Amino acid sequence: MESAYKQGGFLTAFSKWTAFIICLYFCVIGLKIFHHDQMHKITTTNTASLQKASLITQMHNEMLFITRSQLQIMQASDEKQVRSQLWKLSGLVSDYLIHYHQLEQIIDDRDEKVLEQFKTGFSRWYEFNKDLLNYANVVADSGFINTLNMIDLSFRKLKKEPEESWVFISQLR
């Protein structure tokens, strides 16, 4: 009887340890999955933050270059310089709009203020664009007038139809 009791005690202890090891195994797997998910979230957040920082830096630099081009246009001494600066300005604006759309796609609620600041800065340039369009009409450069009109149209569609705005921006390039 004693050997049956020892055998029953052994089976009880064996089954308890087996259940404990199985529970421990599932806990380790659960913790490993949780850790992997948290690391993935952190990596994704970090990547998005780096993309935002890169785009913000690029857009800031592009706005500085746009401003510099505006000043060079105002200080140009002949029509050839004006035309070359206008084409340069057109490229800078299209790059800026592309980066704006890219930033708009990866932005979250906390970053809307930054996006609004870039939109405000571009709106100021847009007002200058209207003056340039009048100048281009005086110079009668049809290619440049077309480019400025496309910029004007893409800016107006920026709020209403972002996808169509991409088409116009890509035509500028």
Q: What is the DSSP string of 32-95?
A: HHHHHHHHHHHHHHHHHHHHHHHHHHHHHHHHHHHHHHHHHHHT--SHHHHHHHHHHHHHHHHH
Least trusted range by pLDDT, from 6-15, 73-82, 89-98, 163-172: 163-172
- Return left, alpha or beta for 29; rule: phi > 0 is left, psi -120 to 50 is alpha, else beta: alpha
Residue 143 has pLDDT above 80, yes or no: no
The pLDDT of residue 1 is 47
Q: Which secondary structure element, helix H or strand E, spans residue 3, and what is its range?
A: helix 2-74
pTM score of the predicted model = 0.56
Least trusted range by pLDDT, from 17-31, 88-102, 155-169: 155-169
Over range 17-23, report the average pLDDT. 93
Angle between helices 112-139 and 142-160 (to 10 degrees): 150
